[in-house]
Amino acid sequence: MATATRHLSSSSEGKTQKAKISKENLRQALVLFSYLRPYRTKFILGLVFIALSAFTTSLFPLFLGKMIDAASPGATLPGMGGSSQFGFGLKNIHWSLNTTLLLIFGQLTVQTFFSFMRVYLLTAVGERSLADMRRDVYSKLLTMPMSFFTEKRVGELSNRISSDLSQIQDAISFTLAEFLRGVFTLVIGLFFIFWISPRLALVMLSVVPLLAIVAVVFGKRIRKMSRKTQDQLADSGNIVQETFHGISIVKAFTSEFYEISRYVKSLRAVVSTAISNARYRGAFVAFMIFSLFGTLAFVVWYGGRMIQDGSGFSIGLLIMFVIFSMFVGGTFAGFADMFSQLQKTLGATQSVREILRSDGEPVDLKQIEVEPKYELKGNVRFEHVAFSYPSRKDIQVLKDLSLTAKNGEQIAIVGPSGAGKSTIASLLLHFYEPDSGTLYFDERPAGKFPLSQLRRQMAFVPQEVILFGGSIKENIAYGKPDASDEEIIAAATSANAHEFVNRFPEKYETIVGERGIKLSGGQRQRIAIARAILKDPAILILDEATSSLDSESELLVQEALENLMKGRTSFVIAHRLSTIRNADKIVLIDKGVVSESGTHSELMKHNGLYRKLNDMQFEFGVITQSPVIENLQE
């Protein structure tokens, strides 16, 4: 079964893209680190504790070697104890077993404290700065114009707030800490292995270039295969998502076998790529194990020969060298993963910075004011308005539309599909700016009003009702957050919703589910109408607001809406002409302009499109949809 929704999901959603490491990308990333400024004291202390933790960790191999030397009296070198040089003096210091054990536990105690503080401080800084960043990104997204949301997918925007910001938080609290700790450990480790034995250090480091080259070659191939596996796995996830979203269509067309076959085919591609990747990873791991353990064995053999030669090299020093070598090798191995994490972080910062730099709408993000600064009377005028959607500039929706609505008038808007009826509602709500012409409110251009003040005095009831996942009470109160229970009940009663709400065990505390899925279509629409009634707007916009109601409920709600529309300017977009016969003015939109305008009786006197449509609906007793209008035009 092929559907038109195949393109709605992308394998990139939920996955942070990598970016090349460059001076510009690093500079952009450092801009986001400005969120650390309020917590800079804790951040600096965290960096200090990282250095102290790395230093105290490096003392463990030293004390362990001294303990082994203490257990091997023959390894002491009394002839060299009087040297004043730091290196020889430290090498030839010998403690008893008990003293060394106490030193080790002292070192472990201090290291434990340093490790706890670095993790605690950097995590606290990372979480707080991430919360600030999430707040700013979410706030910016909410202020973006409607054109932005028509071009972006919900999954992509959610990914920006979730995985991208989490990636940045990991960079602050984990990757950065591990990188700095690795640098300190590497410097200290290299110092100690050269201090213990320069010859042995050169032997050990001689294999590093070879291992680095192999790691880069294999690592690049493995990462490429891993990305391919993740892309294919995301594709299979998209199949699951879209199938479950359209499960009613799948079952109606008995396409279960087709969807299973499609999913299995996708899984086979995932398995094939994963197994191929496993061959590379297996070869890489086998080579690294052979190389590392082979090098370690050779270093121990070479150190053993030095002990046998009587060159002053002790077993304790050999143990120190081996452990410090493991520190150095482990740090080198960790840098490759940190490099990959840094690329992901740069990719995440690019996405976040792109959002934060974008220009949003000038909406008021402060607490909603009780009284607007300018109270609308409700006079609206479209003057030669032309408009095309930003994503479809080649298609002009409104060409030269002029329309006037006086305070308290009920304006019904009808017309064929694509004529621009819903576009008029979007322009009224200032979702978009006209390409030419002017929209006036109370004879003032719409641009002269603060955007939030304008929208707070309007209410919109769409045909496809959107409810939030909270309770019925919360959804109704969305029109007036500080409304009392009595006001909410009164609004629900006016919208003919109170009766069915009271039948629920939890009444107004009933959870409506995601997008209101637990309510029927008619119930959702009545909740949306109650929300609009509670807002008590100056301008009311109804987009086929009674389309999902049964006949009895429609009569009651229609009566409530007519009472609500008294004294308010109302724009009613309708296909069902029986609901708008009493409108003060009926405007028929055709091809982006006003084709006919007048009352029902006036329009019926003319042998125009409105009368033909009305006669057809009356004759057949059906709700004639917009395609019929288009056929009539032909």
Per-residue pLDDT, 159 = 65
On whether the CB atoms of residues 15 and 234 are closer than 8 A, the answer is: yes
Name which of 112, 15, 601, 57 is nearest 347 in CA terms. 15
Per-residue pLDDT, 153 = 67
Distances (CA, A) of 584 to 126, 545, 566, 602, 620: 60, 18, 11, 11, 26
Per-residue pLDDT, 85 = 43
Distance CA 189, CA 193 (A): 6
Per-residue pLDDT, 113 = 93
Distance CA 153, CA 151 (A): 7
pLDDT in tens, 457-499: 888 887 777 787 788 888 888 878 888 888 888 888 888 788 8
Q: Given CATH 3.60.110.10, say whether it is the number of domain 413-422+461-633.
A: no
Architecture of domain 20-197+344-361: Up-down Bundle (1.20)
Low-confidence ranges of the chain (pLDDT < 70): 1-32, 72-92, 152-156, 159-160, 311-312, 333, 336-337, 339-340, 342-344, 347-348, 362-373, 514-516, 545-554, 556-557, 560, 563, 576-579, 617-634
Domain definitions of the chain by residue range: 20-197+344-361, 198-312, 413-422+461-633
Distance CA 450, CA 427 (A): 15
Is residue 220 classed as helix, strand or coil in its secondary structure?
helix
Name which of 627, 17, 76 is nearest 349 in CA terms. 17
